[in-house]
Amino acid sequence: MLLVVVEEQAGSLSGGSLEAVSCARELAEGSAEALHAVAFAENTDHAADLAAPLSKYGVAALHLLTGEAMAEYCPELWGRAIAELIEHTDATGLVGPASDRGNELLAHAAARTGQPFASNCVAVEPGEVWTLTRLRGGGILLEDAELSGQVRIVSLAQGAVEPVEAATTHEVAVREFTPTLGESLPHSSLAERTSRGSGITLATAPVVVSGGRGVGSAEGFAALEELAELVGGAVGCSRVATNNGWRPHSDQVGLTGTKIAADLYIACGISGATQHWVGCMGAKTILAINTDPEAPLVSRADYAVIGDVHDVLPAVVERVRARREAAAS
Amino acid sequence: MDVLVCVKRVPAPGGKLLLTEDGLSVDTRHLGFTIGPHEECAVEEAIRIAAEHGGSVTVLSAGPPETEEQLRYALSMGADHGVLAEVGATELDPEATAAALVETIRTLESESKPFDLVLFGNETADAGHYQVGVRVACALGLPIVGGIKGIELVGGQARVQLKRDVSDGVEVYDTPLPAAAAVKEGLNLPRYPSIKGRLRAKKAPLRTLRPTPEPGGLRTVRLRQPPEKEHATVVLGHGAEAAEAVVDVLAEKGLV
Nearest chain B residue (CA) to A282: B229
pLDDT at residue number A182: 82
Inter-chain contact A189–B173, Cβ cutoff 8 Å? yes
pLDDT at residue number B92: 96
Euclidean distance between CA atoms B139 and A69, whole angstroms: 22
Q: For residues A121 and A97, is the Cβ–Cβ distance under 8 A? A: no
pLDDT at residue number B23: 85
Length of chain B: 256
Under DSSP, is residue A124 helix (H, G, I), strand (E, B) or coil?
strand
Q: What angle do CA A45, A47, A53 make, to 5 degrees?
A: 145
Interface of B with A in 48-107 (CB under 8 A): 93-95, 98
Which of B120, B138, B189 is the best residue to mutate to test the A interface, defined by the most A CB atoms within 10 Å of its own CB? B138
pLDDT at residue number A195: 81
pLDDT at residue number A21: 96
Under DSSP, is residue A271 helix (H, G, I), strand (E, B) or coil?
coil
Among candidate residues B167, B17, B122, the one with its CA nearest the CA of residue A202: B167
Q: Which residues pair with B165 in a beta bridge?
A: B170
| Phi/psi of residue B175, nearest 5 degrees | -150, 145
Contact residues on chain A for B253, CB-CB shorter than 8 A: 206-207, 263-264, 285
pLDDT at residue number A83: 97
Bridge-based pairing of strands B169-176 and B56-63 is unpaired
Nearest chain A residue (CA) to B223: A143
Inter-chain contact A147–B218, Cβ cutoff 8 Å? yes
Under DSSP, is residue A47 helix (H, G, I), strand (E, B) or coil?
helix
Q: For residues B115 and B3, is the Cβ–Cβ distance under 8 A? A: yes
Inter-chain contact B239–A308, Cβ cutoff 8 Å? yes
Bridge-based pairing of strands A303-306 and B2-7 is unpaired
Inter-chain contact A307–B240, Cβ cutoff 8 Å? yes
Among candidate residues B142, B172, B81, the one with its CA nearest the CA of residue A108: B142
Q: Which residues pair with A288 in a beta bridge?
A: A267, A304
Bridge-based pairing of strands B159-166 and B169-176 is antiparallel
Among candidate residues A18, A19, A306, the one with its CA nearest the CA of residue A160: A19
User: Is B142 within 8 Å of chain A by CB?
Assistant: yes
pLDDT in tens, B7-29: 999 998 666 778 888 888 888 88
Contacts of A136 (CB under 8 A, 6+ apart): A142, A143, B126, B127, B128, B223
pLDDT at residue number B14: 64
Contacts of B94 (CB under 8 A, 6+ apart): A116, A117, B127, B129, B131, B132, B135, B216, B218
User: Is B196 within 8 Å of chain A by CB?
Assistant: no
Euclidean distance between CA atoms A47 and A53, whole angstroms: 11
Bridge-based pairing of strands B169-176 and A189-195 is antiparallel
Q: How confident is the model at residue B231 (pLDDT cuts 50, 70, 90)?
A: confident
| Structural domains in chain A plus CATH codes | 2-177 (3.40.50.620), 207-328 (3.40.50.1220)
List of E strands, A126-250:
130-136, 141-147, 152-156, 173-177, 189-195, 207-211, 234-237
Inter-chain contact B149–A111, Cβ cutoff 8 Å? no
Max CA separation in chain B (angstroms): 70
Architecture of domain B3-209: 3-Layer(aba) Sandwich (3.40)
Q: What is the pLDDT along chain A (329 residues), one digit of tens a residue?
A: 999 999 988 778 888 999 999 999 999 999 999 999 999 999 998 888 889 899 999 999 999 999 999 999 999 999 999 999 999 999 999 999 999 999 999 999 999 999 999 999 999 999 999 999 999 988 889 999 999 999 999 999 988 888 999 988 889 999 999 999 987 899 999 999 988 666 678 888 899 999 999 999 999 999 999 999 999 999 999 999 999 999 998 899 998 888 898 999 999 999 998 889 989 988 999 999 999 999 999 999 999 999 999 999 999 999 999 999 998 88
Q: For residues A53 and A13, is the Cβ–Cβ distance under 8 A? A: yes
Under DSSP, is residue A105 helix (H, G, I), strand (E, B) or coil?
helix
Residue A223 CA: distances (Å) to CA of A194, A210, A297, A323, B86: 28, 11, 20, 19, 52
Domain positions in chain B are: 3-209
Between A and B, how many residue pairs show a Cβ–Cβ distance under 8 A? 262
Which ipTM score applies to this complex? 0.92
pLDDT at residue number B29: 80
Query: DSSP character for A314?
Result: H
Q: Quick one: angle between helices B243-252 and A309-328, nearest 10?
A: 60
Q: What is the 3-state secondary structure (H, E, C) of chain B?
A: CEEEEEECEEECCCCCCCECCCCCCECCCCCCEEECHHHHHHHHHHHHHHHHHCCEEEEEEEECHHHHHHHHHHHHHCCCEEEEEECCCCCCCHHHHHHHHHHHHHHHHHHCCCCCEEEEECCCCCCCCCCHHHHHHHHHCCCEEEEEEEEEEECCCCEEEEEEEECCEEEEEEEECCEEEEECCCCCCCCCCCHHHHHHHHHCCEEEECCCCCCCCEEEEEEECCCCCCCCCEEEEEHHHHHHHHHHHHHHCCCC
Euclidean distance between CA atoms A289 and A277, whole angstroms: 15
Under DSSP, is residue A250 helix (H, G, I), strand (E, B) or coil?
helix
Closest in A108, A188, A250 to B134, CB measured: A108
Nearest chain B residue (CA) to A188: B175
pLDDT of B190 over the 90 cut:
yes
Q: DSSP states of A18-36 as a string?
A: HHHHHHHHHHHHHTT--EE
Looking at residue A89, its amino acid is T
Contact residues on chain A for B96, CB-CB shorter than 8 A: none
Among candidate residues A80, A63, A72, A67, the one with its CA nearest the CA of residue A182: A80
pLDDT at residue number B15: 62
Under DSSP, is residue A11 helix (H, G, I), strand (E, B) or coil?
coil
pLDDT in tens, B29-41: 878 899 999 999 9
Q: For residues B206 and B68, is the Cβ–Cβ distance under 8 A? A: yes
User: Is B232 within 8 Å of chain A by CB?
Assistant: no
Among candidate residues A232, A160, A162, the one with its CA nearest the CA of residue A199: A232
Closest in B125, B130, B253 to A137, CB measured: B125
Euclidean distance between CA atoms A85 and B207, whole angstroms: 42
DSSP H helices in chain A: 15-30, 47-54, 75-89, 100-113, 222-230, 239-243, 274-280, 296-300, 309-328
DSSP H helices in A208-264: 222-230, 239-243
